[in-house]
Structure 1
Amino acid sequence: MSAVPRPPNRLLQALPAAELEQLHPLLETVELTKEATLANAGAPVQRIYLPHGGIVSMMVNLSDGQSVEIATIGRDGIIGASAALHGRPLLADAIVVVPGTASVLRAEDFREAADRSAAFRTLIALYEQALIAQTQQSVACNVSHPVEARLSRWLLRARDLCGSEALPLTQEMLAQMIGVRRNAVSIVAHGFQQAGILRYSRGHIEITDIDGLRKSACECYGTVKAYAAQWVGSED
């Protein structure tokens, strides 16, 4: 019997072959279209998403109409796992920021798979720990660090998840991701472009000097990357 092909999601790649073979018939591949809402805060989780590429942002909506990102999820993660396992609603909206594809399975199939497989449960637990750590780091970063460092951190994370220096992102979207006004991102992005770190046009940003961007980032980028490496190994 030929081996089951491994989707690009790192959790699925980390599963033992026998476990993936059991899970494979339950998985469906779907397109993640830009700005699509995969799950709503406060609603029961119906489907579990394991991105192959692109970026999904976990957004908390505030009473004044603002939205704040608390976590960035891509091919190193899973969306809705903890809520589905414990029968609780998500605490944030899951919004596609950069389009891609994902493996999807129904919440009930996910729970049954986790019940059957200790290896699957262990991977999920490790990932959830890394996600909590990322959320805490993101909140601390947005409170403590200047816009230049926060923007650099987010773009580096996006590059890692997408595997590309070219990112289909607007300045307005970036401002929402790091919790600042659009004009603050515009000023920083202009400075980065003048320094040869970025090149941007409407709806598109390209990283042209990765080392320069790393120098501008705060320690939060490396910290979050280290959390991810602890559960599925490093990836550059």
Structure 2
Amino acid sequence: MNHFDAACGARTMLYSGTNQVISCLSAQERSLIVPHLRLCELIPGHAIHTPHEPVRHIYFPRSGLLSIVVIFSDGNSAEAAVAGSNTIVGAIAAFGDGTALNQVMVAAPGNADRIEADVMRRLARESEALRDVLIRHSQALAAQSVQIAGCNAVHPLEARLCRLLLQCRDLSSADTLPFTQDLVSSMLGVYRPSLTHVLRKLETARLVSLSRGKVRIVDAAALEECSCECYAAIKDQVKQIVGAGRLAA
């Protein structure tokens, strides 16, 4: 058992937060899934899913941030999606062979409930309502990935950075993000000097404040004005696919 798996076996007072998907499940759906959930710590820098390897667990984040990234043969990477307490990570493993296509890294510390993929496959077969939830959240993450792929190809770095910071602010419900510049440059697939230049520009404009290992959003409204259309588009996609009645974006 590695350090991450050991952390997933522990239950301490450090764990807090609520996964919105579980909160929105019906009593019947919760009764199926909750007995099989195990609480775990999300440790920054740890990979919970690795490309081409079996997805052994499906995650319901309570807090923290997960970054779904594409890893290239030269070692470079780029963000495909970002996830938090409003979704399920790895839900697609409840269908098919359950092999990870991309890497899922912990971008900000927190905790999550996780369930064995084999157990989730069995529960999905038993419950049509649960299958629908899993499918919808898989579709929402896939839609975000497509939107971000287009964003990375077309929009300038400043707009992409603003979009990412706003997304992470929404998902963490916090203005201060525990992000190093190395982490953000990796998520955006850019060289750190380019990122540093844009961050300093945003800081000079008093949109953000920088400190060691942290980025604090000072003016979210102004940051949204500098963001590209993808920030709003991703929020709208979540509402459309998941359903505003079941889960707030």
**TM-score past 0.5 threshold:** yes
Provide the aligned length of Structure 1 versus Structure 2. 230
Question: In the alignment, which residue of structure 1 is the partner of 2:234?
Answer: 224
Q: Is the 8 A contact 2:94 2:124 kept in 1?
A: no
Q: Which residue of 2 aligns with 1:131?
A: 141
The residue number in structure 1 matching 2:14 is none
| Residue of structure 2 in register with 1:70 after alignment | 80
- 1:202 pairs, out of 200, 207, 212, with 212
Distance apart, 1:232 and its partner CA: 4.2
> Is 1:39 aligned to residue 54 of structure 2?
no
AA matched with 2:188: I
Q: Which residue of 1 aligns with 2:58?
A: 48
Which of 142, 149, 164 is matched with 1:154 structurally?
Answer: 164
Gaps of 5+ in 1: 1-6
Aligned to 1:141: 151
> What's the % identity of the aligned pairs?
35
Q: Residue 187 in 1 paired to residue 197 in 2?
A: yes
8 Å CA contact 2:58, 2:93 repeated in 1: no
Cα offsets for 1:178-226 (capped at 9, x unmatched): 1211111111111111111000112101001011100010000000111
Q: Whole-Å Cα distance in 1 between the matches of residues 243 and 61 of structure 2?
A: 15
TM-score between the two structures when normalised by the length of structure 2: 0.89
1:30-84 Cα offsets, whole Å, 9 max, x none, are 1101111111110111111111111111122111111121111111221222134
Kindly provide the amino acid, as one letter, of the partner of residue 168 in structure 2. Answer: A
User: What is the match of residue 21 of structure 2?
Assistant: 11
Pairwise CA RMSD of aligned residues? Answer: 1.3
1:20 counterpart residue number: 30
Q: Which amino acid aligns with 1:96?
A: V
In structure 2, relative to structure 1, the CA distance for the partners of 1:83 and 1:23 (3 Å cut) is closer
* Amino acid paired to 1:194: T
**Contact 1:15/1:119 (<8 A) preserved:** no
Once residues 232 and 28 of structure 1 are traced to their aligned partners in structure 2, the CA distance between those partners, rounded to angstroms, is 27
CA contact (8 A) 1:58 1:71 kept: yes
Query: Following TM superposition, where does structure 1 have runs of at least 4 consecutive aligned residues deviating by more than 6 angstroms?
Result: none
Q: Secondary structure at the match of 1:86?
A: coil
Q: Which TM-score applies when normalising by structure 1?
A: 0.93
